[in-house]
Structure 1
Amino acid sequence: MANELLHLKFDHVFDSDLINEIDKIGVIRTFSKNDIIIDINQPLQYIPLLLSGHIKILREDSDGNELLIYFLEAGETCTMSLTCCMGTSKSKIRAVAEMDSSLIMIPVQNMQSWFHNNEGWRNFILESYQTRFDEMLEAIDNLAFMKMDERLYKYLINKVKLHTSKTIIAKHQDIAEDLHTSRVVISRLLKQFENEKKIKLSRNKIEVL
Structure 2
Amino acid sequence: MEFPPLPLFTEVELKSEIARVATFKKVPKGETLIRQGQYLKVLPIVVSGAIRVFQTFEDREILLYYVRANETCIMSLTACLFNNESASYAITDAPTQVLYIPSDYITDWQTRYPSWNKFILAAYRNRYDELLHEFTDAVFKKMDERVLDYLRNYRDTHSVHTIPISHQALALELGTTRVVISRILKSFELEGLIGLHRGSITLKKPF
Give the TM-score taking structure 2 as reference length.
Answer: 0.90
> How far apart, CA to CA, are the structure 2 residues paired with 1:173 and 1:41?
26
C-alpha spacing 1:2/1:184, structure 2 compared with 1 (3 Å)? farther
Matching residue within 13, 18, 42 for 1:17: 13
Q: Percent identity?
A: 34
TM superposition shift of 1:2:
4.2
1:82-97 equivalence runs, <5 A: 82-97=77-92
Matching residue within 173, 180, 185 for 1:178: 173
Matching residue within 102, 110, 120 for 1:125: 120
For each residue in 1:174-194, what CA deviation from the matched residue of structure 2 results, as whole angstroms up to 9, or x when unmatched? 212222323232222111111
Aligned length: 204
> How far apart, CA to CA, are the structure 2 residues paired with 1:105 and 1:12?
15
TM superposition shift of 1:25:
0.9
Name the stretch that deviates more: 14-23 or 122-131. 14-23
Q: Structure 1 unaligned runs (5+)?
A: none
1:100-139 equivalence runs, <5 A: 100-139=95-134
1:35-114 equivalence runs, <5 A: 35-61=31-57, 63-114=58-109
**C-alpha contact 1:56 1:97 (8 A) present in aligned 2:** yes
Name the stretch that deviates more: 14-23 or 36-45. 14-23
**C-alpha contact 1:56 1:98 (8 A) present in aligned 2:** yes
Runs of 4+ in 1 over 6 A off after TM superposition: none
Match of 2:148 in 1: 153
For each residue in 1:153-206, what CA deviation from the matched residue of structure 2 results, as whole angstroms up to 9, or x when unmatched? 111111112102222122222212222323232222111111122222223222
RMSD (CA atoms) = 1.8
TM superposition shift of 1:76:
1.1
Give the TM-score taking structure 1 as reference length.
Answer: 0.89
Which amino acid in structure 2 is aligned with residue 118 of structure 1? Y
**C-alpha contact 2:8 2:70 (8 A) present in aligned 1:** no
